[in-house]
Amino acid sequence: MLKHTLSALAGRPRPFDAILEQAGRIILGKDHEIRLAIACLLANGHLLIEDLPGMGKTTLSHALARLLGLQFSRIQFTSDLLPADITGVSIFERDKSEFRFLPGPVFAQLVLADEINRATPKTQSALLEAMEEGQVTAEGQTRQLPTPFFVIATQNPAHQIGTFPLPESQLDRFLMRLELGYPDRAAERALLAAGGQRAQADKLMPLLNANDLPAFQQEAAATHAADPLIDYVQAVVEATRQNPAFQHGLSPRAGLALLAAARAWAWLAGRDMVLPDDVQAVLPAVARHRLRSAQGGGYAQAEDIAALVRSIAIP
């Protein structure tokens, strides 16, 4: 969104520009969504991507894992998936006469949980515990997950028969929720001309070492948020509580999430201070799945969020 560079504001080199650029070659015409996804990971949050099949959800996850140099695993959620299929099981080794724990696919730095709403709530909660705690408890033993640890979950909104939609409390665990949407004309034409992008994703070279990421995360979290900016975030959160378009407002945790996401967004833009623009840019991705529309009860409408922004003066 902030394509132009403010001469006085952008003094810092931006290591993520190359990552953004490379990912943009794989997922065509979705620069804003890619930037949001990376901001989400920088803010140490988990990501929920919700869209129809074939929109590039999995490709995006692949590309991010490759570019960030993260160890990647994918879990295809189905209705008969069991918690142990995620966390891992102990098997008896005849040679050593002892049980050995075989870690499940969750023991990876970036886990893609594909079609998370197909699994039963019990299985879902095994993943969600891992997301929240950064650890896994299996067979009475608690095991630390690698750091960094990210989950990108995908969900297909159209076919809800035989699925278990995530309850609100678990939606709250995801820092952001994205919709990729159809590519624009030019992007789609380029896609058709170039052929499948998934194969290309596998050819990407890592631009980052997995060990670098925590340092960048710390840097992003230290982005300066001045008092007026905190005021603005507070005004936004309060406005969601008073706005009749929503059934209920944002929680304090959501307010923290909003500020963290805005910090990461600002850092990505090469700034060491957060601006109201950053809050506005991440607000739909952070807030929509945490709010309920007063009409219909689904996610908050994008227009309502836009109207909300228009009702708050910039401090």
Nearest to another protein of 221, 273 (CB atom): 273
- The answer to whether the beta carbons of residues 183 and 87 sit under 8 Å apart is no
Q: Report the distance separating Cα 39 and Cα 52, nearest Å.
A: 23
Check binding of 309 to another protein (CB under 8 A).
yes
Nearest to another protein of 105, 276 (CB atom): 276
Check binding of 11 to another protein (CB under 8 A).
no
- The window from 83-91, 179-187, 200-208, 276-284 that contacts another protein (CB under 8 A) reads 276-284
Least distance (Å) between residue 123 CB and another protein: 41
Check binding of 226 to another protein (CB under 8 A).
yes
Q: Which residues pair with 75 in a beta bridge?
A: 113
28 phi, psi to nearest 5 deg: -80, 140
Check binding of 228 to another protein (CB under 8 A).
yes
Question: Which strand (E) or helix (H) includes residue 72?
Answer: strand 72-76
Among 82, 256, 302, 307, binds another protein (CB under 8 A): 307
Least distance (Å) between residue 247 CB and another protein: 14
Check binding of 310 to another protein (CB under 8 A).
yes
Long-range contacts of 16-24 (CB under 8 A, 24+ apart): 16/42, 16/216, 16/268, 18/207, 19/67, 19/68, 19/207, 19/208, 20/268, 22/63, 22/67, 22/204, 22/207, 23/60, 23/63, 23/64, 23/67
Q: Which of 18, 7, 8 is nearest to 268 (CA)?
A: 18
Check binding of 256 to another protein (CB under 8 A).
no
Among 224, 241, 248, 253, binds another protein (CB under 8 A): 224
Q: Report the distance separating Cα 88 and Cα 97, nearest Å.
A: 19
Nearest to another protein of 8, 158 (CB atom): 8
Binding site for another protein (CB under 8 A): 2, 4, 6-9, 224, 226, 228-229, 243-245, 272-277, 280, 306-307, 309-314
